[in-house]
């Protein structure tokens, strides 16, 4: 056997060995336990995300229900006008009490100064 023949046969053997090693590696990666563990982790993550999304949808439904019963701008305007009416009424009552207080002070002053006669 010549050195050229030997290097060709060695090269061919190396290529065959490389192909067999690549095929074995592909089989391990494709069917190995590592992928199953990763798949299980992704399934667990997917289940957790589904659970979180279900909770989020339930909270969103609760918020929509709560928002449906909140007062509208029209309701707030009506409340504001009623508060303005109450404020005017209180201002009027305050004015009347101020006048009554002044009258009571005058009566009290008259009784203290001229009441003994």
DSSP calls for 59-113: HHHHHHHHHHTS--HHHHHHHHHHHHHHHHHHHHHHHHHHHHHHHHHHHHHHHHH
Rounded to whole angstroms, what are the CA distances from 12 to 7, 32, 64, 108? 8, 29, 72, 128
Give the per-residue pLDDT at 35.
67
Give the per-residue pLDDT at 37.
76
Give the per-residue pLDDT at 27.
86
Interatomic CA distance for residues 74 and 63, integer angstroms: 21
Taking 60 as the threshold, does the pLDDT of residue 116 lie above it? no
pTM confidence score: 0.41
Q: What is the pLDDT of residues 66-101, one digit of tens each?
A: 888 888 899 999 999 999 999 999 999 999 999 899
Domain ranges of the chain: 72-117
Interatomic CA distance for residues 111 and 117, integer angstroms: 10
Q: What is the pLDDT of residues 6-45, one digit of tens each?
A: 888 888 999 999 999 999 998 887 777 666 777 888 899 9
């Amino acid at each position: 056997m010549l050195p050229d023949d030997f290097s060709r046969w060695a090269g061919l053997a190396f290529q065959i060995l490389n192909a067999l090693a690549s095929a074995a590696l592909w089989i391990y990666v494709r069917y190995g336990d590592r992928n199953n563990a990763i798949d299980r982790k992704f399934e667990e993550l997917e289940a957790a995300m589904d659970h979180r999304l279900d909770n989020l949808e339930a909270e969103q439904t609760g918020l929509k229900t709560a928002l449906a019963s909140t007062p509208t701008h029209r309701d707030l305007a009506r409340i504001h006008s009623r508060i303005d009416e109450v404020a005017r009424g209180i201002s009027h009552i305050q004015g009347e009490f101020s006048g009554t207080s002044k009258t009571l002070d005058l009566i009290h002053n008259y009784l203290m100064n001229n009441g003994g006669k």
